[in-house]
Amino acid sequence: MAKRPTVLLFVLALVAAACGDDDSGGDTTTTAAEAGETTTTAAEGATTTAAPATTTTSDGGGGEAVSLRWRTRPDNDQEAAVYQSVSDSLQGQIADVTLIYEAGGTETEGYQQALLTQLSAGEAPDVFWIPGADIAQFAQAGVLLNLAPYAAEDADFSVDDFYPGPMEQLTTDPATGQSNPAEYLWGLPRDVSACALYLNLDLIAEAGAADPRELAAAGTWDWAAFTEVAEQVAGLAPEIFGYGQNSWWGPNGWWVNSAGGGFFNDARDACGLDTPESIAGLTAFRDFYATGAASTYGEDAEPIFKAGNTGMFQNGRWGTPGIREVDFNWDVVKLPDGPGGPSNWLFWGAYVVNASTENPEAAWDLVRALTSADVQAEVAELGANIPSRVSQDALDAFLTFTPPENNQAFLDGLSENPETEAPLWNGDWASYRDEMNTRIAAVVSGDLSIEEFEANICTDLNQYFNN
């Protein structure tokens, strides 16, 4: 059985496929463009040229000031503007440091490739955001600064301030794959998210279907009730659908997890998709789509929902800003309970520090500031994210950012048995994910039988673990 290449070799392979350099500086908070950086969105090639992680610039008085560069991957110009505003507001809070904010490309793979290229060349920002599933890849490649020593000296810091799922991953020993908070801290979570069903209330009412929010409040919102609502809405017209989701691992995994199954075994060192529970979830997934109540699997379901042609659309909190633009009545509801009980995903990303930064203390201070309650509230007001802090003040602030009116549905998703988005510390998640998605898509479309899936899936996927 073939084993995956090491993470370092993977990084080098990505580096060989990309390139970049850059220049930045200034003695006031500066955008990347103002600093002389050239940034291209992922759609244009996802190349971001960059300067060395930390530079010194004139402070206007004959001395030198440190420039600290930081980067996120905003989804749109509005979000980029919010992060620039955050950078402006934090300017002066970190002594003798000039903050330079850089907006990376909007497409995940291109954004990561640019970072890996620049990290290899010594040209990456001091602080940057990465998705939670990528923590292992970056940490094992040796490009992240271990922040545990700085956290130990920070009397105001506690891992308990954040959701435990992300913190378990951020405190993992790369060699063992086990959490060790005393020795490791790879970053702090910027935000979290969960999935919910976005509801077209007009279509649901027109179909005479029960309001899913009322069913959820009554404790009767399960797969059977969900299927009934979807079929009633789909009965309105051939171009109307009861449900839609996009064909990626998050919503796919919800079907599996809700039946009591999962992608992996409990130790996360082997495939778990051939268990009776996982097969039951996948079978229900296939059978539901066979009813014709859902929009075509593999087609982008979000535009269909936003056009007013879908009753229920599964997506994360990040879908909220775009759906606020629709011209029909809408709200959200928690995902329906499956045979295995309530289930959801806890999605997250983290601010991490470049291992080559020349100013680790200042970088730690910036990460702490970016994950403060005030900054998280400012970012969460966009509607795309949920604060990663578990304080009641942070949660109460999130609930005020309407629409949707039923923001509690997302918090319910985070409290009812969510599966944390997590990397494989002993395997190749990207390869595992891609092959798994291909097989699941084939089952849902009817091109692969459940029996063949069950017989082969784990034999084929276990090659991506380092066992």
User: Each residue of 69-79: pLDDT tens digit?
Assistant: 999 999 888 89
**436 and 341 co-located in one domain:** yes
Please indicate, yes or no, if residue 2 is contained in any of the structural domains.
no
pLDDT above 70 (res 44): no
Q: pLDDT tens digit string along 306-348?
A: 999 999 999 999 999 999 999 999 999 999 999 999 999 999 9
Please indicate, yes or no, if residue 3 is contained in any of the structural domains.
no
**380 and 355 co-located in one domain:** yes
- Domain ranges, residue 31: 8-193+347-418
Average pLDDT over residues 236-263: 97
Please indicate, yes or no, if residue 36 is contained in any of the structural domains.
yes
Confidence of residue 62 (pLDDT cuts 50, 70, 90): very low
For residue 442, the domain's CATH number is: 3.40.190.10
CB < 8 Å & 24+ apart, contacts of 80-85: 82/378, 82/379, 82/382, 83/379, 84/31, 85/378
3-state secondary structure of 301: helix
Please give the pLDDT value at position 109: 66
**405 and 335 co-located in one domain:** no
Average pLDDT over residues 268-273: 96
pLDDT above 80 (res 55): no
Please indicate, yes or no, if residue 46 is contained in any of the structural domains.
yes
Average pLDDT over residues 7-20: 36
Q: Any residues with CB less than 8 A from the CB of 18 and at least 6 apart, and which? A: 46, 47, 113, 114, 116, 117
pTM of the model: 0.85
Average pLDDT over residues 192-216: 98
Please give the pLDDT value at position 43: 29
Average pLDDT over residues 407-430: 93
Q: Which of the residue ranges 20-24, 111-115, 247-251, 299-303 would you say has the lowest mean pLDDT?
A: 20-24
**58 and 36 co-located in one domain:** yes
**223 and 177 co-located in one domain:** no
Confidence of residue 92 (pLDDT cuts 50, 70, 90): confident
Question: Which among 5, 15, 39 has a CA at the least distance from the CA of 120?
Answer: 15
pLDDT above 60 (res 35): no
**154 and 234 co-located in one domain:** no
pLDDT above 70 (res 215): yes
What's the CA gap between 133 and 250, in Å, rounded? Answer: 12
**211 and 282 co-located in one domain:** yes
What's the CA gap between 212 and 312, in Å, rounded? Answer: 10
Q: What share of the chain in percent tops pLDDT 70?
A: 85
**339 and 354 co-located in one domain:** no
Please give the pLDDT value at position 393: 84
**Residue 185 in contact with residue 148, Cβ under 8 Å?**
yes
**210 and 115 co-located in one domain:** no
**298 and 200 co-located in one domain:** yes
Confidence of residue 210 (pLDDT cuts 50, 70, 90): very high
**351 and 228 co-located in one domain:** no
Final residue in a domain of this structure, among 401, 418, 435: 418
Torsions phi, psi of 128, nearest 5? -150, 160
Please give the pLDDT value at position 108: 60
Please give the pLDDT value at position 107: 65
Query: Which position has the token pair 């796919």?
Result: 252
Classify each residue of 281-308 as buried b or exposed e, where b means 16 or more C-beta atoms within 10 Å of its C-beta: bbbbbbebbeeebbbebeeebbebbbee
Please indicate, yes or no, if residue 1 is contained in any of the structural domains.
no
Please indicate, yes or no, if residue 356 is contained in any of the structural domains.
yes
Question: For residue 148, what are the β-bridge partners?
Answer: none
> Could you give the number of structural domains in the chain?
2
Q: pLDDT tens digit string along 275-304?
A: 999 999 999 999 999 999 999 999 999 999
Q: What share of the chain in percent tops pLDDT 90?
A: 78
- The average confidence (pLDDT) of the chain is 87
What's the CA gap between 169 and 172, in Å, rounded? Answer: 5
Average pLDDT over residues 384-408: 91
**339 and 454 co-located in one domain:** yes
Please indicate, yes or no, if residue 380 is contained in any of the structural domains.
yes
Please indicate, yes or no, if residue 79 is contained in any of the structural domains.
yes
Q: pLDDT tens digit string along 168-180?
A: 999 999 999 999 9
